[in-house]
């Protein structure tokens, strides 16, 4: 953030300010715009929380599509890996939009990993939505049986 942008956020309590810094540039810009239209341009706790609520951003900084992406990977693909095109079909969003708009934030915040085999939900994503972590052994460990 620039000094000017940080000045607009200074009245926010320290803990909430830390969470605000985790948001993407788009969300922070929308919050500033909300503060200018609905207030005096200063972002305080109440203004920021109202803006995030209006944008349907939860306390973890995830919007509806972020949650849909992560839940699809966990529920439909056992946490991954899943290819971009399959994920795109599962959530009903264009593959390039997923890759360019949603993935960078989810990777940056530690909810998603992009591997050579596809996208996987991280431990943090499972915990965020209250899902049990998958069994680490998986099918590869029993390919030749236990008595080899």
**Percent of all residues in the chain with a pLDDT value above 70, rounded to a whole number:** 75
pLDDT, tens digit, for every residue of 19-28? Answer: 666 666 777 7
Asked whether 125 and 74 are in contact (CB, 8 A), the reply is: yes
Give the C-alpha separation, 53 to 67, whole Å.
15
Provide the 8-state DSSP code for 45: H
Whole-number average pLDDT of the chain? 82
Mean pLDDT of 56-68: 87
Q: How many CB atoms lie within 10 A of CB 28?
A: 20
Give the C-alpha separation, 13 to 92, whole Å.
38
In which band, very low, low, confident or very high, does the pLDDT at 79 lie, cut at 50, 70 and 90? very high
Torsion of CA 104, 107, 110, 115, to 10 degrees: 180
Provide the 8-state DSSP code for 82: B
Fold designation for 64-129 = Arc Repressor Mutant, subunit A (1.10.10)
Give the C-alpha separation, 55 to 65, whole Å.
12
Q: State residue 37 phi and psi, 5-degree precision.
A: -75, -40
Q: Which residue has the higher pLDDT, 12 or 90?
A: 90
Give the C-alpha separation, 119 to 60, whole Å.
20
Q: Which residue has the higher pLDDT, 74 or 147?
A: 74
The candidate with the shortest Cα–Cα distance to 21, out of 33, 34, 10, 36, is 10
Domain parsing of the chain, residue ranges? 3-54, 64-129
């Amino acid at each position: 953030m620039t000094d000017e942008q940080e000045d607009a956020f200074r009245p926010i309590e320290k803990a909430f300010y830390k969470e605000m810094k985790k948001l993407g540039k788009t969300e922070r810009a929308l919050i500033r715009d909300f503060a200018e239209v609905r207030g005096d341009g200063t972002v305080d706790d109440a203004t920021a929380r109202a803006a995030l609520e209006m944008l349907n951003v939860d306390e973890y900084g995830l919007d509806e599509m972020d949650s849909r992406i992560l839940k699809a990977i966990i529920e439909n693909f056992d946490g991954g890996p899943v290819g971009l095109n399959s994920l795109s079909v599962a959530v009903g969003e264009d593959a390039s939009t997923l890759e360019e708009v949603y993935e960078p934030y989810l990777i940056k915040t530690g909810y998603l990993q992009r591997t050579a085999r596809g996208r996987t939900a991280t431990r943090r994503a499972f915990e965020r939505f209250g899902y049990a972590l998958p069994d680490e052994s998986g099918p590869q460990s029993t390919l030749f049986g236990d008595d080899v």
